[in-house]
Amino acid sequence: MSKKNSSVKKFKKKFQENSRILDVYNIFKKNISFSKKNSIVVAVSGGADSLALSALTKFNQYNEKNKYFYVLIDHGYRKKSALEALKVRQMIKTKINENLIIIKNKQKFKSNLQKNFREIRYRNLFNFCIKKKVKILMTAHHFNDQIETFLIRLARGSGVQGLSSMQMINKTNKKVKLVRPLLEIKKNELKFIAKKIFNNYLKDPSNTSKKFLRSNIRSLTLQLERYGISHDQIFRSIKNINATNNLVNQYINDLMKKTVSRKRGLILIKHKTFLSYDTEIKRIIMGRLIKDFTKKDYPPKSKKISFVIKKIEKKSFNKLTLGGCVLKLNDSQITIKKEVKKT
């Protein structure tokens, strides 16, 4: 038996003979059942979550014949980040016999580090997908991430749409689906898989830094457990809000067909019809229109949309800007066009 065949057999055995790993794999498999014989990009960081995802996708490759690209974005934030990236490449090659593609970020930031690095990360990953003509990007967001996201958005006063938290399949990018197949899996299970397959994983010090909101929320979730507010209860609430959000989206789609039209590169909104809607409905419609029109991954901030909606309700403007667009108001309609920035 060749060395390669021996390592493949050994890898498969770790999955097939461990019921705990197989249970996670079966949930993963169910969540990507739509994808067979596809090319998929897997976002890798070297943490337990993404290494577990790498192992799950590798095992899936033997069964479903999907083709996977493993990609790591080196933010360059820490001095040792380049060495860490090479270490992860070695782990991926040694343990699952795959090549890790490393993309280096050259942009520097002094503030909003987590937000800016997240945006850079996704931009690079989506660009790589588009370059390789890959239509699916897979990330290792999990059960605990979902709880944290819900609490962060709750703290920010999000509505139903925001509180529905992360979606399993997200079409924020027109050309690439963002898929999160591990949202039902708890972090401890992913740590278990990472240790079993890779023996080790990287630990990001920013995950425990008090400088970042998510780190503080993570500490809060542990305290909530002590007071009887379990993660499972919160997760059930998220699923219920998600179901409500799906109904709201169906309703909004019907309203948009009655209210919105497009003509010669403009969006036209029937003013009186739009005004008759509830403020929250107006806010969702406006956010969705601006996001789709500008082809951005996310709508403008809720606070900015709410400011514009108030102006529309009071009819107290002739011209406003929002998310790279210009809004003009007359008696019968609101016209939206892309903002032309002066150079």
Do 197 and 288 lie in a common domain?
no
pLDDT in tens, 302-330: 889 999 999 988 887 788 999 999 999 88
Residue 55 is part of a domain; what is its CATH number? Answer: 3.40.50.620
pTM, to two decimals: 0.84
Give the angle 190-194-197 at the CA atoms, nearest 5°: 135
- Inside any domain, residue 326: yes
Assigned token pair, 70: 């493993």
Segment 106-128 mean pLDDT: 82
- Inside any domain, residue 291: yes
- Inside any domain, residue 13: yes
Do 63 and 107 lie in a common domain?
yes
Domain stops at, among 235, 252, 277? 235
- Inside any domain, residue 241: no
Q: What is the pLDDT of residue 208?
A: 66
Residue 194 has pLDDT above 70, yes or no: yes
Q: At how many degrees (to 10) do helices 3-16 and 187-198 cross?
A: 150
Do 325 and 201 lie in a common domain?
no
- Do strands 319-322 and 325-329 pair parallel, antiparallel, or not at all (unpaired)? antiparallel
**pLDDT band (50, 70, 90) for residue 343:** low
Segment 148-158 mean pLDDT: 86
User: Rounded distance, CA 189 to CA 198, Å?
Assistant: 14
- Sign of the dihedral through C-alpha 288, 292, 298, 300: negative
Do 215 and 290 lie in a common domain?
no
Kindly list the distances between the CA atom of residue 44 and the CA atoms of 55, 120, 154, 278, in Å, as whole numbers in the listed order.
11, 14, 28, 42
Q: In terms of residue numbers, what domain contains 293?
A: 264-338
Percent of the chain with pLDDT over 70: 95
- Inside any domain, residue 244: no
Q: Is 85 in contact with 74 (CB distance < 8 Å)?
A: yes
- Inside any domain, residue 249: no
Do 169 and 309 lie in a common domain?
no
**pLDDT band (50, 70, 90) for residue 116:** confident
Domain stops at, among 185, 214, 235? 235
Do 199 and 75 lie in a common domain?
yes
- Inside any domain, residue 259: no
Q: Is 196 in contact with 21 (CB distance < 8 Å)?
A: yes
Do 217 and 281 lie in a common domain?
no
**261-298: string of b/e by CB count within 10 Å (b at 16+)?**
eeeeeebbbebeebeebeeebbbbbbbbbbbebbeeee
- Inside any domain, residue 273: yes
